[in-house]
Each structure stands twice: as C-alpha cells, then as structure tokens.
Amino acid sequence: MDIFLQQLINGLVLGSVYALVALGYTMVYGILELINFAHGEITMMGAMVALAVIGALALAAPGLPGVLVLGAGLVVAIPVCVALGLVIERVAYRPLRHAPRLAPLITAIGVSIILQNVAMLIWGKQYIPFPAVLPQGRHTFHGAAITDVQIAILLLATAIMLMLILVVQKTRLGRAMRATAQSRQVASLMGVDVNRVIAATFAIGSALAAVAGVMVSAYYGLAHYYMGFLLGLKAFSAAVLGGIGNLGGAMLGGLLLGLIESFGAGYIGDLTGGFLGSNYQDVFAFFVLIAVLVFRPSGLLGARGVERA
Amino acid sequence: MTGHRLAWVMVAAALVAGCGDKPQQNGDQQVVLIGQASPLTGPQAHLGKDNENGARLALDEINAAGLTLGGKKVVLELKSEDDAADPKTATTVAQKLVDEGVAGVIGHLNSGATIPASKIYSDNNIPQISPSATAVAYTAAGYKTAFRVMTNDAQQGSVLGNYAVTKLGAKKIAIIDDRTAYGQGLADEVEKAVKAAGGDVVAREYTSDRSTDFMAILTSIKGKAPDLVFFGGMDPQAAPMIKQMKQLGMTAKFLGGDGVQTPTFIQLAGPDAEGALASNPGLPLDAMPGGSAFKAKFEAKYGQIQNYAPYAYDAMHVLIDAMKRAGSSAPAKYLAELPKTDYQGVTGRIRFDAKGDLAGGAVTLYQVKDGKWQTLETVQSGK
C-alpha cells in the first residue's frame, strides 16, 4: 500500500509537469494546427534564465529567503520566455501561415535546434546545478514520502491550470481564442484581431513553459541545454494522448502519462515475474499511447473538428 | 598441405612486412621510433598531452641513461600523433604510425579510439600498450599485440561487487544501470561479483543516460529494502538519483563507478552527495609507489599532472624493458617478451595476464566526506 501510494505521488508530480508543458503544445495546435516543436526548448530557456538570475542574486544579495529568490527567477524568466515565444511566432511561423503545413513544422524544428545551440553557447555543455532554494522538508504518511518541492509543484500546477481554464472560458480573450480555433476567417470577419490572438496564445504557452522549466529544474536540482528535448517529447505525447487541441485533454494526458510511467516502471518487473524490466518503461508508455490512438484517433478527449482550444 | 603452404606464405609476408620496419641507421647509432597516440586537440587535449608528456619523460630518461640492444647503441625517438579521441581518426593515425615504421605504440587514450586502432597494430604485428583504455572489449578481441597497464572495467566491477558485500556489509543489493555499454558492462560485473561473494541482488532496474526522474524505480527498489544501491552510469544521472533516494527517505548506501567519482557529482548533488561511495581504477598519485618522485620529475618539466601521465610513463618503460630482454627492437622478437613482463613501475608492479590485461589491477574506493572525495582504500583485483 505504501509503495502504491508513493508511486501515485511520483506519477502525479511527474504528470502535472508534463501537463503544464503539454498545455503549450495543445493551445498552439488548437488555434494554428501547428506543432510547435520549439516549445520544449522554451521550457529549457525558462530554467536557464531563472538559474542565471538566482546565481546573480546569490552573489549580489546573499541571505535572501529561498522562496523570494526563486520568485525573482520566475519574474525574470516568464517575460523572457514570453518575449522569446512572441519573436519565434513573428519570425518563424507568421510568414509561413499560408504555406503548406509541412513548412512551419520544419521551421519549428529549426528553431528548436537554434535555441539548443544558443543555450549551449551561453551556458556551456555541462550540467548546471540548480541551488536548493526551496525548503527541503519531507512529510510521510502511511509510509509514503512527499517533499515540500513536490507539494509546491502540485499546487502551482493545479492553480495555473484552473486559471487557464477561467481565462479561456470566461474572458473576452478566451472567447476570441475559441473563435479563432473554430475558424480563423470567420473570426477575423467578426472583428477578432487574429494576429493578436495568436500572439497571445504563444505568450501564454511560453509563460507556462517558463514556470514548468523552473519547476523541473528546482525539483531535479539541475539544468542542461538538452533538457527541453525529452521533456518536450513526453509532453507532446501527453497532448496527443489526451487529444491535441483540447485543454482538458492535455491535463488528463499529462497526468495519465506520468502515472503510466510511474506505475509501469514500478510494477512491470514484478507483474511479469522479471520477464520485462524497467528498461521497458518508455515502451509501456508509448504502447498505451498507440492503443488509445487506435481506438480513439483524436485522443481521449479530442473533439472531432469542432470546439478546440 | 595447403594449410602448410598458406602458413609459409604468411611467414614470408611477415618477413617482407618486417623489412619496412627496419630501424633507420644513423652513423653507428640506431634510431628506433616509438609511436604515441592520444587526443592532442579537442576537449580532451589536456589529457592527451599529459599522456604524451608521460611517455616522453620515460623516453628521454632512457635515452639519457643510454640504451644498448643486441650490442648496438640505440637512440629512441617519439612519434606523437593526434587521434582527436575519434575512432575514425584513430585508425588513420594508427596506419600512419605503422607506415612510419614505429617499433611499438603507447596509446591510445580512449577505449573508443584504442579498440579500432588495435586491429591495425595487430595486422602489422606492432605491440601496443594503452595507458588508459578500460573497456573490456579492447583485449577481448584476442590480439597478441594488445596490452594495457590500466585496470579494466571488468576488474573494477568485480572489486566493487565484492567490496559492497564483504567490506560494506551489504547483504541485499539493488543494481541500476543506464543501458550504455559502460554502465551496463560495469553493472553486469558488479552483479556477478555480488553473487559470488554471497550477496543477494534484490532488484535490477534500468534507466537511460538522459533521464533525470528515478522516483518510480527507486520506489520499487525501496519496497525491497536493500542495504546498498549500485549505479552503473555517469554523474548527471547519479546526482539526481541520490537526491531522490534522500527524498524517498531511503537509508541504503549509494555506490558507483568511475563515472560517478567526479567533482561534478558533488557539485550537482550538493549536501545529498555526503556519504556516497565510488571507485576509480588505479591508485591516487600520492599512493603510488613512485608517485611523489614522479610528480617532482614531471612537474619540473611539464607542469601539473592531469591524470594518466604516470601510466604512459610506465607503459613506455615496460615496452623498452621487453626490448632489452629480447636484445632487439624488432617487434617480431620482443613481442614474445612482453607477456613475461614483471616490472616495478611508478604505478605499481606491472604484469600481464593471458589477454594482455594488467594482472591484479588496483581499484581505489572513495567516499564523499565534507563535500570532497576522500580516499578510503585501494583494493587489488583478482583477490
């Protein structure tokens, strides 16, 4: 029971990080039908910028409380990532908006490679330690352990997701986003500034990515120029699993993927009597993905054509 | 019949090939070329230059003392080549050294470069001693010309497994590896040694060399209550792994190989690194029998020792020692003497086993104390 509970916590924490990143993929896809492969790298940039700020603060004003330092890192990382998202949209995607769908996909991959290499040039190839700025407290109940950092990740992720749903469902911007997702032409005929809505979508997605990047780095205690790649791939899979283009789907897909990975790696060896080991954990996760897509090609919550984003 | 004829043809071919290796005459002195190959450019250039300097120091000393082989005065000359730590470049460089007619080679530095080059040296019957390649595959190919003066990964793994059970008192051991050739190879050797020493491998889990999340496998391992967790892999995974062990409240000891015994590991894991154990092949310099004397000599000439210079120095002495015993620098003659080597070098007593591996290679164990790797003890393998 304690192991089950622990794997549940592991899965939920991992899953909520995947969900946050998956939201960025799904929002952009919902509106533009574009897979923004640079999204994982924006996550990495968020972590790197926050790390630089935290490092500078540690030199300039040692002794500040950790939460404040991390907050300062976030306050700088979010606008930097938002600006980065806006620039990428303006330079790499907007000129290609009426080009064949393959073209922006390729620029997306190009942007992702450029961002990785820029980060490598600025911060180097080595793994960078992320200082333990958050309280390192541990709590145990029924034999399972949860740390302060994990609790913070769960709370922050939940709060951000609720806020995002409110924005999309209740605000004017949200209504414009939903309208643009349904039909760009009709929305623009109704007086919606489509370019502004798309830019806003990129801005919100990049801000989420920045938060996710900082959370991941703080949690694992390190940052690396390549960290966005695997995280982006997993989050993209989560978005597809839940139904790409659907906000609830990205959240569900992220949590599910986290839980599948966690329980898969934890129990696969015991369930198969050692025939399959934890080296099959990714196989297991992607097997579930394929199975879902075979029976529900548009993902778990994917709508068929209407009411995306 | 045809088999015999083929053998004669091969002997003839070897003799013809041998002619190309004939040492150059320089007055009444004979000049013998010795090859050295290591990365002299790129990110490992400092290590490559270190090997070159170690070999050169030995060569200069031998020349200064005067070398006579078979009644003739001999002067040694070093041909140093850059393999850029790249397997492809390594084969080019090896061929170049062979074409230049070297009598023997000290190198290469990396296992990845040493292994493909070893075929070329073997095909041309040129003895090769690597000061630093640790991969088992290097000598496993069975080439008669391949030797090393460094403890290999199998020896390290068996020492680690045995140490965990007998010295650290761990009965239940969990093993994780990162599925790379290095990590898996080391973990397999540890598993064998643990079982041989009477320990129990309660879990064998896997991750990748890109992962940072080990909570799932660690939770599963925690359920089996091991006394010790061994990780075959590198520091970028080991650091978050030990952090997550602490998060889960695991009290098991953490043990790793040379991929973990790095300053980066301590930097990344911070205070959680405290108490972690890891090994590195060979001896720390200050514990080598000739360590301090070598350090003084080397630093007077080339500055700080990076890592493998003492091994390159010993490798050169071992090579020339075999030539002295054979009374010749012709590879065909002195190659037979190399397996009989018993040389007291800076790094310790050097003998080779049947494969050309260092017999009883030493492995040193370290533990993180007060944020630094502290030497625990050195163990001879094969005991």
Q: Which two tokens stand for residue A142?
A: 């029924």
The full set of domains in chain B, from first to last, is: 2-151+286-352 (3.40.50.2300), 154-280+363-380 (3.40.50.2300)
The 10 Å CB-count burial string (b at 16+, else e) for B315-341 is: bbbbbbbbbbebebbbbebbbebbeeb
Classify A76 as helix, strand or coil: helix
Classify A309 as helix, strand or coil: coil
**CB of A211 closer than 8 Å to CB of A46:** yes
Give the tens place of pLDDT for each residue, B44-81: 888 899 999 999 999 999 999 999 998 899 999 999 99
For residue A216, which residues of chain B lie inside 8 Å, CB to CB? 212
Q: In angstroms, rounded to a whole number, what is the distance separating the alpha carbons of residues B373 and B370? A: 8
- Tell me the average pLDDT of chain B: 90
Q: Which two tokens stand for residue B152?
A: 């290999």
Q: Between chains, do A279 and B264 touch, taking CB under 8 Å as contact?
A: no
Q: In angstroms, rounded to a whole number, what is the distance separating the alpha carbons of residues B270 and B247? A: 14
Compute the nearest-CA separation of B262 from chain A (Å).
13
Characterize the bridge pairing of strands B253-256 and B277-281: parallel
3-state helix, strand, coil in chain B (%, to 5): 45, 25, 30
Mind spelling out the 3-state secondary structure of B353-367? CCCCCECCCEEEEEE
pLDDT band at A124 (very low <50, low <70, confident <90, very high): confident
Closest residue in B to A2 (Cα–Cα)? B223
Give the tens place of pLDDT for each residue, B250-263: 999 999 998 899 88
Q: Between chains, do A222 and B219 touch, taking CB under 8 Å as contact?
A: no
Surface of A (24-83) touching B: CB under 8 A: none
Question: A234 — contact with chain B (CB < 8 Å)?
Answer: no
pLDDT band at B13 (very low <50, low <70, confident <90, very high): low
Is the full-model pTM beyond 0.90? no
Compute the nearest-CA separation of A6 from chain B (Å).
7
For residue B203, which residues of chain A lie inside 8 Å, CB to CB? 269
Helix axes A66-88, A39-60, angle to 10 degrees: 140
* DSSP, residue by residue, B275-312: T-EEEEES--GGGSTTHHHHHHHHHHHH-S--SSHHHH
Give the tens place of pLDDT for each residue, A255-278: 999 999 999 888 887 777 777 777
How many CB atoms are closer than 10 A to CB A185? Answer: 9
Classify B240 as helix, strand or coil: helix
Provide, rounded to the nearest whole percent, the portion of chain A with pLDDT above 70: 97
For residue A151, which residues of chain B lie inside 8 Å, CB to CB? none
For residue A131, which residues of chain B lie inside 8 Å, CB to CB? 270
pLDDT at residue B1 greater than cutoff 50: no
Among the partner-chain residues B205, B247, B264, the one whose CB lies closest to the CB of A127 is B264
How many CB atoms are closer than 10 A to CB A28? Answer: 28
* B281 residue type, one letter: P
- Tell me the average pLDDT of chain A: 89
Q: Between chains, do A10 and B267 touch, taking CB under 8 Å as contact?
A: no
Characterize the bridge pairing of strands A128-129 and A222-223: antiparallel
Across-strand partners of B277?
A: B255, B367
Closest residue in B to A150 (Cα–Cα)? B247
Question: B96 — contact with chain A (CB < 8 Å)?
Answer: no
Compute the nearest-CA separation of B217 from chain A (Å).
5
Give the tens place of pLDDT for each residue, A172-189: 999 999 999 989 999 999
Interface test with B, best of A21, A133, A222 (most B CBs within 10 A): A222
How many CB atoms are closer than 10 A to CB B38? Answer: 34
Question: A4 — contact with chain B (CB < 8 Å)?
Answer: no
Compute the nearest-CA separation of A10 from chain B (Å).
6
Find the angle CA(B362)-CA(B364)-CA(B368) to the nearest 5 degrees: 175
The pLDDT score that the predictor gives to residue A126 is 79
Classify B201 as helix, strand or coil: strand
The pLDDT score that the predictor gives to residue B11 is 55
Q: Which two tokens stand for residue B13?
A: 């071919």
Q: Between chains, do A221 and B239 touch, taking CB under 8 Å as contact?
A: yes
The full set of domains in chain A, from first to last, is: 2-295 (1.10.3470)
The pLDDT score that the predictor gives to residue A279 is 76
